[in-house]
Every structure is written in C-alpha cells, then in structure tokens.
Amino acid sequence: MPQENDERQITELLQHAASGEGSAQEALYKVVYADLTRIARHRLYESGSFSVLDSPGLVSEAYLRMVGKEASIAQNRRMFFGYASKVMRNIILDHVREMQAEKRGSGVSDVTLYTGVAGVSFRDDQLEHLEQALQRLQRIDERACNIVELRYFGGLTMEECAEHQEISLATASRAWEKARVFLASELAV
C-alpha cells in the first residue's frame, strides 16, 4: 500500500502547510520532488526550444508558484498533482510566449508534447492555438479537458487520469478519445 501511505503523507503535509508550518512546505517539496520531476520531464520531452527550461528548473518554478497556494487549492495528493500539471502548463506557455516575443516570428522550432500514446509535435506558434482549443474544450466538456491536461501536461497514464478524476478507466478513455477528436478538428492536425 505504498501509494496509500504516500497519499496520506502528502495530505498531512498539505494540511500542516495550510496551518503555516514552514517545515511542512520543505518536507512536502522533498516528498513530491521525484514525481514533479517525472511530470516535468514529460513536459519537456524532446523539446529543443526549451533549452533554457530544464526539468529541475520547471519543477522549481512550478513549486515556487504553488507555495502558499497549494494548501488552499489541494487537500490531497490527486489534487496537488492535478494543480501542479496546470501550473507547469502555464509556465511552458509563458515561456513560449516570451520566446515568441523575442523572436517576433523568426526561427520557429518544434515543441513535442508527449502523451504516452504518440508524440505530437507543435511549433511554438501553434502552442498558443492549442491553448485556445483547450479553453474551448473546457467550455464544452470540462472532464475531457482535464484528461488532456493530465495526459499532455501532467504526463499521467490513462489509469492515473481515471484515478485522479475519480472515474472508471472506460469513462476516462472515452473522454480522452472525445478530446483527441475535438482537438484534431480544432487544430486541423
């Protein structure tokens, strides 16, 4: 039952951090660092345009953005890693936007978003279109959008996505397929 113990430990640390215990935030960081690094590696997998943004950098930036907020947003392990996936997504998008502002359209390179099913490459300028498509998907089907976030930006397996969303694997798979079809039509991939 390691995951149950892990779940309990993270939940307790989140509660202690919410009560203002500084040592709890440090302990939480140590406990979740390996999982956050795994998620970050998935986000940056074969993305040549993120040479300045590496896994430890993404983890550090994400954790800094979450400090003080994670306790009020995430009461357990699933919520914490779901929130971490969203924060990493935002960091990557901010980084791409910053690079585009510097480049002003020149030297566009590919970013690979790895889903575990198949790698899908988006050029930096297309990542903004992906974000807009995800926002439209969220208005239509929030569950499908959450599955995409967890798969693309969180690097979770379908089983982990189902567990995170507290739904069956079949329901998560249907939401994933619906999202893939929607995004393919929106992005004309």
d(CA 37, CA 86): 14
- Token reading at 35: 């999982």
Mean pLDDT of 124-149: 85
Q: How far apart are CA 1 and CA 13, in angstroms?
A: 18
Measured in residues, the chain has a length of 189
| Model confidence pTM above 0.85 | no
- Indicate whether 7 pLDDT > 80: no
* pLDDT digit string, tens, across residues 34-55: 888 887 877 676 444 555 677 8
Residue 53: other Cβ atoms inside 10 A = 20
Q: What is the pLDDT of residues 79-130, one digit of tens each?
A: 888 888 888 888 888 887 777 666 554 444 444 444 443 444 555 566 778 8
What confidence category does residue 177 fall into, taking pLDDT thresholds of 50, 70 and 90?
very high
pLDDT for position 101: 67
CB atoms within 10 A of CB 167: 17
**Selection from 160, 126, 134, 123 nearest residue 38 by Cα:** 160
